[in-house]
């Protein structure tokens, strides 16, 4: 019986290996697909971390501190992420960049943005998201949202001091020593109320490689940190 | 790139071996359609011998394909597959599970087209839910709850635990589950195919 089974098996195997095209295709496909996926999501970064480049078109009608801060965001991200800001001269130019898929988002910084923020008046940054993309425009929107929230909170905290700094910068003379000292003193006093949030830091971030990733079901959460 | 390849490849390999097993098992229907089964039944070859040889054929071809792929990826991409002996155990149990499922499908259907269609649907469903096409951890929890029972998920879990040199109970228990399921389904399917051939249904 065993020899008959072996005989039938060898007959079928010889048939398979005489025409192995189907088998070879079945073997090549997983390698190809895995290569495609891994090269799509990998990078040329030497540290092996993914590199994402976000192109943002910006129309700066403010031409002041906040506008220059946003324009200066280019290539300041660490860990392989790149932000490239393209300054445009008109709304049409920015929208054309979106249509030609040269930018993921288009920001319009309104006139007197910095002045309005410092004067606690409402200022609106317009954002046009590229409809052909999903992830990058969302990242830009979230980034601007965080920026706007952060700036609003900073102005609430030390808005008066910032106005003094702005006035000092706009004056065409060397700043007064006493005014500068009082400015620093008042600013530090206000910052002291936030000391417990920064020392030690309550929320920390840690980058983990994919191979070290532990699924959430098996992760144990340890309580700790200051109150 | 190597890390992503190492993460994705085991799932993809298992999925394509599942399709391979389906392709090879369809030979039972092909032999019926080409009348070679009728001629075999007139010879000294018994039905049991015929069925066992088909199952062994699928097992051998799938195993050879998997080891060629593993050897290739180890040499070219430097993928670490873990202990070779335990790898044989895991892959054999995966192959048995695949054979059991496709054999069961082919034993229940009347025509080759129906069997191929149903088998493809099963394989794709198991593969998607089991994490062969996307990382299992990124799937919604509902899909994870269902996908945890798929043979692909058990196989991927076993292979990843071998590759990462994890606790041996992970791959051992997964392999045992796959072996039990595979053996049970193969036995049941073989019995059904035997009944159908001896009743003249497949001649």
With a CB-CB cutoff of 8 Å, which residues 179-198 of chain B face chain A?
none
Strand partners of residue A109: A60
- Neighbouring-strand partners of residue A57: A86, A106
Query: pLDDT tens-digit profile of A105-136?
Result: 999 999 888 888 888 888 889 999 988 888 88
The answer to whether B164 faces chain A, any CB pair under 8 Å, is yes
For residue B52, the distance in angstroms to the closest alpha carbon of chain A comes to 7
Mean pLDDT of chain A: 78
Global confidence as pTM: 0.60
Instruction: Name the residue with tokens 């309580």.
Output: A223
Nearest to A210 by CA among B12, B148, B5: B5
Per-residue pLDDT of chain B (203 residues), as tens digits, is 777 788 888 999 999 999 999 988 888 888 888 888 878 777 888 888 889 999 999 999 999 999 999 999 888 888 889 899 999 999 999 999 999 999 999 999 888 888 899 999 999 999 999 988 888 888 888 888 888 889 999 999 999 999 888 888 889 999 999 999 999 999 999 999 889 888 877 66
CA A145 from centre of chain? 12
pLDDT at A223: 46
Nearest CA in chain B to A33: B12
The separation between CA A220 and the C-alpha centre of its own chain, rounded to angstroms, equals: 28
Q: Pick the residue from chain B with its C-alpha nearest to A2.
A: B49
Neighbours of A60 (CB within 10 A): 21
Cβ atoms of B150 and B156 within 8 Å: the answer is no
Q: Which residues of B touch A211 (CB under 8 A)?
A: 3, 6-7, 164
Handedness of CA A194, A201, A51, B131 (dihedral sign): negative
User: Which residues in chain A have Cβ-Cβ distances shorter than 8 Å to B54?
Assistant: 12
Residue B138 to chain A, least CA–CA distance (Å): 9
Rounded CA-CA distance A163/A118 in Å is: 6
Classified as helix, coil or strand, A108 is strand
Terminal Cα distance for chain A, rounded: 76
Strands A105-109 and A126-129: antiparallel
What is the separation of C-alpha A105 from the centre of its chain, rounded to a whole number of angstroms?
Answer: 13
CB count in 10 Å sphere of residue B153? 23
Record: contact B5-A33, CB cut-off 8 A: no
For chain B, what percentages of helix, strand and coil (3-state, to nearest 5) are there? 80, 0, 20
Please, what is the angle between helix B151-163 and helix B84-108, to 10°? 170
Among positive and negative, which fits the CA dihedral B111, B114, B119, B122? negative
């Amino acid at each position: 019986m065993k020899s008959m089974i072996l005989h039938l098996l060898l007959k079928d195997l010889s048939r398979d290996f005489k025409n192995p095209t189907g088998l070879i295709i079945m073997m090549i496909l997983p390698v190809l697909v895995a290569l495609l996926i891994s090269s799509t999501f990998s990078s040329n970064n030497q540290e092996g971390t993914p590199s994402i480049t976000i192109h943002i078109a910006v129309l700066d009608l403010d031409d002041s501190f906040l506008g220059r801060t946003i324009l200066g965001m280019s290539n300041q991200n660490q860990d392989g992420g790149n932000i490239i800001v393209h300054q445009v001269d008109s709304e049409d130019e920015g929208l054309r960049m979106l249509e030609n898929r040269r930018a993921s988002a288009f920001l319009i910084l309104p006139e007197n943005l910095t002045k309005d923020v410092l004067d606690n008046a409402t200022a609106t940054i317009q954002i046009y998201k590229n409809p052909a993309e999903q992830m990058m425009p969302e990242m830009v929107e979230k980034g601007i949202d965080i920026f706007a929230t952060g700036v609003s909170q900073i102005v609430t905290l030390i808005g008066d001091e910032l106005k003094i700094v702005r006035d000092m910068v706009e004056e065409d003379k060397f700043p007064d020593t006493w005014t500068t000292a009082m400015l620093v003193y008042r600013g530090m006093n206000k910052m002291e109320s936030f000391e417990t949030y920064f020392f030690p830091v309550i929320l920390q971030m840690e980058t983990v490689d994919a191979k070290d990733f532990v699924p959430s079901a098996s992760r144990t959460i340890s309580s700790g940190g200051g109150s | 790139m190597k890390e992503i390849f190492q993460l994705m490849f085991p799932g993809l390999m298992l999925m394509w071996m599942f399709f391979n097993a389906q392709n090879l098992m369809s030979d039972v229907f092909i032999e019926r359609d080409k009348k070679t089964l009728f001629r075999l039944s007139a010879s000294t070859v018994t039905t049991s011998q015929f069925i066992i040889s088909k199952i062994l054929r699928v097992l051998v071809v799938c195993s050879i394909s998997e080891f060629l792929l593993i050897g290739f990826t180890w040499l070219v991409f430097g993928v670490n597959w873990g202990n070779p002996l335990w790898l044989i155990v895991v892959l054999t149990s995966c192959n048995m599970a695949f054979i059991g499922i496709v054999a069961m499908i082919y034993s229940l259907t009347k025509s080759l087209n129906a069997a191929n269609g149903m088998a493809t649907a099963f394989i794709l469903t198991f593969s998607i839910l089991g994490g062969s096409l996307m990382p299992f951890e990124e799937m919604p929890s509902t899909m994870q709850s269902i996908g945890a029972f798929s043979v692909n998920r058990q196989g991927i879990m076993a292979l990843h635990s071998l590759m990462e040199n994890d606790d041996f109970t992970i791959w051992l228990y997964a392999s045992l589950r796959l072996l039990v399921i595979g053996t049970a389904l193969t036995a049941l399917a073989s019995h059904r195919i035997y009944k159908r051939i001896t009743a003249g249904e497949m001649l």
